[in-house]
Amino acid sequence: NAGVTQTPKFRILKIGQSMTLQCTQDMNHNYMYWYRQDPGMGLKLIYYSVGAGITDKGEVPNGYNVSRSTTEDFPLRLELAAPSQTSVYFCASTATGTSGSGTQYFGPGTRLTVL
């Protein structure tokens, strides 16, 4: 299993540009999450999904959109990039039920800079 994969690894955007951060997991996990990590800070939840077709906002959703058309994929969309969105973005997934017990598995991250 590759686990959770994210593309791209690095990206520089100009203010006002748009992009999609890709996230794929091959563990058949129902739950998927997007976090951002600002320098020297912990992770903050942007959006999450409990299954295909179901998404919900986290702590810091403004400026982002998500969709979940398949179990495997959970892309994060930035429509009008702003310097405040400069951050490292992590995707994570977890199984449901007692066998999964909430442990989240993280991708390697996407480092985004908005200039």
Minimum CB distance to another protein, residue 15 (Å) = 25
Nearer to another protein, 85 or 89 (CB): 89
Q: Which stretch binds another protein (CB under 8 A): 20-28, 31-39, 65-73, 79-87?
A: 31-39
* The one among 41, 80, 82, 115 contacting another protein by CB under 8 A: 41
28 makes contact with another protein (CB under 8 A) = no
SS3 43: strand
In sequence order, the β-bridge partners of residue 40 are: none
SS3 84: helix
70: left (phi over 0), alpha (psi -120 to 50) or beta: beta
Here the tokens at position 2 are: 């590759």
Name which of residues 52 to 111 contact another protein (CB under 8 A): 56, 58, 90, 92, 94, 96, 100-109
In 3D, which of 95, 92, 64 has the Cα closest to residue 79?
A: 64
Contact positions vs another protein (CB under 8 A): 31, 33, 35, 40-45, 48, 50, 56, 58, 90, 92, 94, 96, 100-109
